[in-house]
Amino acid sequence: MTVLVVGDVIDDIVVRPLRPTAPDTDTPSAITAGPGGSGANQAAWLGALGARVRFAGRVGAADAAAHTAALAASGVDARLAADPGAPTGRIVVLARGGRRDMYTDRGANLNLCAADLPDDLLDGVTLLHVSGYSLFQPGVRAAAGDLMRRARERGAETSVDPASAAFLADAGPAAFRAWARGARLIFPNLDEGRLLTGAREPAAVAAALLEDHPVVALKLGAEGALVAARDGTRLALPSAPAEVVDPTGAGDAFCAGFLAGWAAGRPLEDCARGAVAAAGRAVAAVGARPRKEF
């Protein structure tokens, strides 16, 4: 059983100030560069967790081989379109303790199109997971939405991660809920869930999202997660014990941990526990992708 992930590929630059920021002058920092992108991170974590995973995205032509190899190192069958004109997307992540601010240039990701998502991507696929970044721009949304339709016609399940509270606010909650409707699973964090529903408390957010999705996995950061299903299941899980070094990619690892269990047919509680365990491993190291020794 194969999981297909569609989403962004990014070159991450993670900046960790070593002391409080000094305005208008130098602040000593630890700076690390590496591969990222929400969808690509999710695929890499899925592969590292032992799932059979395929990924589709778009990068600058000069970087296609390197990003394909980076994903392959985590066990991902990467199908990357090489953009001849736009560069690979880039993000500068300012990581301070348990929070991170992201300065985003999505680059070639904005040019993902129907030709990049052919029918053979769906061969053997039982679950299609779409990063919300692929739904915020009209052209990319049309291509991803059509792939979701084709996946369902083949009998595959679909899932969505809203991915960005800022882009979600720009798009409008009602619009995003319409784009995501039909997905069996949704993976918002609490800020995204509040935007989507207007509710404040996690239980109320999850209950509102169950109107659109049979399973809701609500990411609560240091507070863990709340998983709810239409059959009445409610699972409140604490976060995994970990020293937070860099929270970049923790939400992506959470999605992957959950979906790895889901694709393997494990009980919902096992999926949830796998999700928080993967997120705990992610925050304990710098960068958004799984470490080689994982």
Catalytic residues: 252
Phi/psi region, residue 97 (left: phi>0; alpha: psi -120 to 50; beta: rest), is: left
3-state secondary structure of 160: strand
Output the CA–CA distances (angstroms, integers) from residue 275 to 173, 204, 239, in the order listed.
25, 21, 10
Q: Give phi and psi for 13, each to the nearest 5.
A: -125, 110
Q: Which tokens sit at 105?
A: 């240039």
Q: Which tokens sit at 257?
A: 């941990």
Number of other residues whose CB lies within 10 A of the CB of residue 149: 12
Using alpha carbons, select from 75, 43, 36, 28 the residue that is nearest to residue 248: 36
